[in-house]
Amino acid sequence: MPETRMYTVAGMTCDHCTRAVASEVGAVAGVTAVEVDLGTKLVTVTGDGLSDEALRAAIEEAGYEVA
């Protein structure tokens, strides 16, 4: 059964930010979907066997900070 995790990500301001975060997070094992909402700075990740540590590291790799 898929699980969903949500992260507030500071510093995202444009479509480039959205694509960078979605690309890095989407490459994490188990991720099946990534939604980025610039208005709320919320990143919603859906998948199976998600690793909180790996998802946070992917967001940081994209150049952003989990608030």
As for how many domains the chain has, the answer is 1
Residue 1 confidence class, pLDDT cut points 50, 70, 90:
confident
Q: Write out the residue range of the structural domain in which residue 32 sits.
A: 3-66
Residue 60 has pLDDT above 90, yes or no: yes
Mean pLDDT within 25-38 = 98
- The number of beta carbons lying within 10 Å of the beta carbon of residue 41 is 17
Residue 9 has pLDDT above 90, yes or no: yes
- CATH code assigned at 57: 3.30.70.100
pLDDT more than 70, % of the chain:
100
**DSSP track, 27-56:** TSTTEEEEEEETTTTEEEEEESS--HHHHH
pLDDT averaged over the chain?
A: 97
